[in-house]
Amino acid sequence: MRLFQRENGIWYVEFGRGKKRSLGTRSKQEAIRTFNQLKREQIAGRLNIPSRKKILLSTFSKEYLEWCENNRSTETFKKARHCLKRLQEIIGDIYLYNISRKHLDDYVSHLLSWGISKVTINVHIRTLKSAFSKAVEWEYLEKNPFLGYKQLKVQQKPPRFLLPEEVEKIEEMIDDEMWIFIFRFFIYTGLRLGELVTIRWKDIDFNRDILTVRKSKNFQSRVIPLHPKLKSELMKYYQGKEEEKIVPYSKSYIEHKLKMYFRRAGFHDLRIHDLRHTFASLMVMNGVDLKTVQELLGHTSYKTTEIYAHLAPHHLQQAIKKFPL
The rounded average pLDDT for each run of 10 residues, N- to C-terminus, in the chain (325 residues) is 81 70 83 84 66 82 93 89 96 92 94 93 95 90 89 84 94 95 95 93 94 76 92 89 89 95 96 94 89 90 83 62 50
From CA 254, how far away is CA 234, in angstroms rounded?
Answer: 18
Q: Which of 182, 209, 216, 236 is nearest to 295 (CA)?
A: 216
pLDDT of residue 216: 62
In the chain, domain spans: 2-43, 57-137, 164-321
pLDDT of residue 191: 95
From CA 77, how far away is CA 65, in angstroms rounded?
Answer: 7
Instruction: Find out whether 218 and 298 touch, Cβ atoms under 8 Å.
Output: yes
Give the number of other CB atoms < 10 A from CB of residue 220.
11
Phi–psi pair at 296, nearest 5 degrees: -65, -35
Give the number of other CB atoms < 10 A from CB of residue 225.
14
Q: What is the CATH number of domain 164-321?
A: 1.10.443.10
Instruction: Find out whether 203 and 210 touch, Cβ atoms under 8 Å.
Output: no
The answer for residues whose C-beta is within 8 angstroms of residue 19's C-beta and 6 or more apart is 49, 50, 51, 52
pLDDT of residue 52: 57
pLDDT of residue 316: 56
Angle at 188 between CA 182 and CA 192, to 5 degrees: 70
Could you confirm whether domain 57-137 is CATH 2.60.40?
no
pLDDT of residue 203: 94
